[in-house]
Amino acid sequence: MKPSDTLTIAFSLLLTAIIIIFYDRIGAAGKLIVMCSSMALFQFVLVYISGINKFLSLTRDIIFPALCVIIFFDILGNVAHSVNPQDIDYMLIRLDYLLFGCYPTVYLERFYSPMLMDIFQISYTTYYFLPLAFGILLKAQGKHEAFDKFLFLILLCYYLSYISYILFPALGPRYAIEHLQTLDMDGYVVSKSIQDVLNNLEGVKRDAFPSGHTAIALVVLFSAFRYARWFAYILLIPVILLICSTVFCRYHYVVDLIGGAILVVVSLVLGELYYKSWEGRGNGSAL
């Protein structure tokens, strides 16, 4: 097994246990238990059959991890608010106001232009492609050890963020302080369409804190500086725009971004500790 394999199995079983514990509160709990436990089983099977051919190897390294991120996130929509129904938006709103003396998403309306909105909305969607693009780059360059470490780190960051959404559910400013906003920031061409697609695909997940967009983008950037520095310089401006877009487009409070940065540090520290433990057992090398 690779560390990333054990991580997915562990998170699958953790989510299964949470659903079992809160079975009576969660709709379609039985179906979700089967889904989560099946993810653990399939990951376990992939470990032993991935060497048969290149497609199974690719499934283990790229296709299945990507599906896990999507499927677990979707499951959270049924789990998070059932387990913890107390949203913490009021706390995040107060922290933002305490730090800045205003509501940042409302304040930023003065800088609104349709073109700028389109730029930021497009930047926001790059989040869905950055990890995949960098992972494919490492694979294409034959940096297999670097890829394994990156895959583990990015999955750890995703799964920790998912746990955070259960512990700290929050809708985000586009819902919680919608009544304070004075502009419909639709953009020229693409913003409204992108917003509609994301709303339909994601639904209301209460996934504002911490900002997963910030955390994942920073993990990709950190890994790029470590394993492909030239690519990191290409990513630098897109990542900055992505992080700024989370507030400008009203998906996150500023304190969510701070939470996302803290999540990166936690992921790096835990990842380092895990890899050292793995190395100590003779199974790998330090992160």
Angle at 281 between CA 276 and CA 286, to 5 degrees: 25
Per-residue pLDDT tens for 239-284?
Answer: 999 999 999 999 999 999 999 999 999 999 999 999 888 877 765 5
DSSP letter for 211, please: -
Question: With contact defined as beta carbons under 8 Å apart, do 231 and 224 qualify?
Answer: yes
How many other CB atoms are there within 10 angstroms of residue 263's CB atom?
A: 24
pTM of the complete model beyond 0.85: yes
Domain boundaries, the chain: 1-83, 85-287
- The 10s digit of each residue's pLDDT in 95-142 is 999 999 999 999 999 999 989 999 999 999 999 999 999 999 999 999
Q: How far is CA 42 from CA 16, 66, 68, 277, in A?
A: 14, 14, 11, 25
